[in-house]
Amino acid sequence: MQLSLDQFRIIERDVQSEGITFSHLECDLLDHVCCDIEDRMRTGFSFDDAYQTVKREIGIQGLRRVQEETLLLINKNYRMMKKSMKILGTIALAGVSIAAVAKIMHWPGASLLILLSTFIVSTIFFPAVLYVWYKEVFLKKHGFIVILTFFAGFTFMYGTLFKIQHWPFANILLIIGELLTIITIIIGGITYLISKPTSKDRKGLLVIGIIGLVAFALGTLFKIQHWPGATILLLLGSILLFSVFLPIYAYHTYKGETTIKNSFIFSVFALMFIITFTFLLSIKSSQSILDAYAYRVNELHSSISTIENLIKDIPEKENSVEITQKADVLFNSITDLKNNLVNITGGTNINVNQLKIEDIKYLKHSSTNKSYTNLLEGNMQNGKAYLLYNDIQKYKSFIINGLENNPYSMDLVNENLFLPQDNPKDWIIQNFYLVPLVTSLNNLSQIQLDIRLVQQEALNNMNLALVENIQE
């Protein structure tokens, strides 16, 4: 009893899907399975029954296990490598987890641990994994793709490390890593499409998957670099990947197999991990914007101290005490408000007048934080922002009253301490509504600077008036 061509094709497809690449092992196994089935059919079984029995005897992934055992027997290094790979992988994973906790808790040694784990993963573990893959899965002629994957992963991992550590050249490394990844996906995808005999439907599906993946990778690259078009690429990539490719692929896999393969579960997990990771990385990139804000806050504060020094040099006069007192009260109340806002969002040890890079993660909180919104806006009439508006208004009218004989200074004060007339709501929205904490702090510091500027103007004006009086 010989197998018909159709029956043979069914077996061939199943055996090929196991991904046996070592030497002529696939031919051996295919022939063996066919002989086994033919023998059973000779004793009266139908093809289907015979094939089911043989399949059951081989077991799930049985053929792959044969390949693995062959590799283990032939290559002693391979066995060592597999073992050390498992150990190193576990160590690196533990290292990264501990480092992450240390980083969050501001414990010492976090950077060193991250450095060490990244080194293990990128320079030892990752190449070892690729080598094993190359031996097990890839064909010899595809060595170029393996090398490309190595360089892509290597630069990408170090780029990420440099980015996290705020070291130089992080961006260049990330760009190179991302570009290499994209090239690898494209070349690897095309080679796969050419070399594997699959149906037209499946090829189309794979093309969609590759386009989605490339768009997604480009999107993250654009996002990290703040180039325009990132959102569209990310959107296109994720729609293609998650709404088109993955469901259809999962459906096909589910339909084609009675048992879900480990490799499928693994690839879903790996995909989830990679995507969460790149997303986090893209979010992390907005840190540079926050950095700019922190820089601006610090700049404002140095301007404030310059003005305060200038004010100290102005000789004191009878009325000047009241002006300085009122300015100080308002100024300090704003400092209190800033501290209040920072405390509410969890940054207890932050000096609002001197922001540091490591403080910034507290400053990402936006006004979607409930207690933060309550504090600032309250019921509109009793929120801190509303009270602040009133205080500034009072201070402003007080200063302007003293400047009645000097329209130029009056204009200056009006310009510096600009408040929308009788409309606190606009002012509150403009300064605090739906902005991150760092922006609120920025705005408050700007107001403090304005208060000092106005104070200086008023004091100078008073001195000038006195001088003029004496001259008369």
Partner 1 sequence: MVSRELLKGSLKSIVLKLLAEHGRMYGYEITQKVSVLTEGQITLTYGALYPVLHKLEKEGALLTESEVVNNRNRIYYKLTKKGNETAREKIKELEDFIKTIGILLKPELGLEPCS
Do the Cβ atoms of 392 and 420 come closer than 8 Å? no
State yes or no: residue 165 binds partner 1 (CB under 8 A). Answer: no
Task: Count residues binding partner 1 (CB under 8 A).
Answer: 29
From residue 136, how far is each of 82, 90, 130, 181 by CA, in Å? 12, 22, 10, 22
Between 58 and 311, whose beta carbon lies closer to partner 1?
58
State yes or no: residue 50 binds partner 1 (CB under 8 A). Answer: no
Which residues, other chains included, contact 334 with Cβ-Cβ below 8 Å and sequence gap of 6+?
A: 388, 444, 447, 448, 451
State yes or no: residue 173 binds partner 1 (CB under 8 A). Answer: no
Least distance in angstroms from the C-beta of 258 to partner 1 = 21
Least distance in angstroms from the C-beta of 28 to partner 1 = 5
- Which residue in the set 18, 50, 51, 58 belongs to the binding site for partner 1 (CB under 8 A)? 58
State yes or no: residue 299 binds partner 1 (CB under 8 A). Answer: no
State yes or no: residue 339 binds partner 1 (CB under 8 A). Answer: no
Half-sphere exposure of 285 (CA within 13 A, CB side): 21
Q: Which two tokens stand for residue 217?
A: 């990778």
| Rounded Cα–Cα distance for residues 275 and 260 (Å) | 22
- Residue 436's DSSP bridge partners are 366
258 — phi, psi (to 5°)?
-80, -30
Binding mask 26-45 for partner 1 (x = CB under 8 A): -xxxxxx-xxx--x------
Least distance in angstroms from the C-beta of 176 to partner 1 = 39
Q: According to CB under 8 A, which residues from 391 to 430 bind partner 1? A: none
| Rounded Cα–Cα distance for residues 198 and 252 (Å) | 13
State yes or no: residue 25 binds partner 1 (CB under 8 A). Answer: yes
Q: According to CB under 8 A, which residues from 122 to 141 bind partner 1? A: none
| Rounded Cα–Cα distance for residues 8 and 14 (Å) | 10
Selected range binding partner 1 among 1-9, 83-91, 124-132, 348-356, rule: CB under 8 A:
1-9
| Rounded Cα–Cα distance for residues 67 and 359 (Å) | 53
Q: Which two tokens stand for residue 357?
A: 């890079």
- Listing DSSP states for 249-306 in one string gives HHHHHHHH-SS--HHHHHHHHHHHHHHHHHHHHHHHHTHHHHHHHHHHHHHHHHHHHH
State yes or no: residue 24 binds partner 1 (CB under 8 A). Answer: yes
* Integer-rounded Cα radius of gyration of the chain: 34
Least distance in angstroms from the C-beta of 62 to partner 1 = 7
Between 31 and 316, whose beta carbon lies closer to partner 1?
31
State yes or no: residue 253 binds partner 1 (CB under 8 A). Answer: no
Between 72 and 464, whose beta carbon lies closer to partner 1?
72
Residue numbers at the binding site for partner 1 (CB under 8 A):
2-3, 5, 8, 12, 22-25, 27-32, 34-36, 39, 58, 62-63, 65-66, 69-70, 72-74
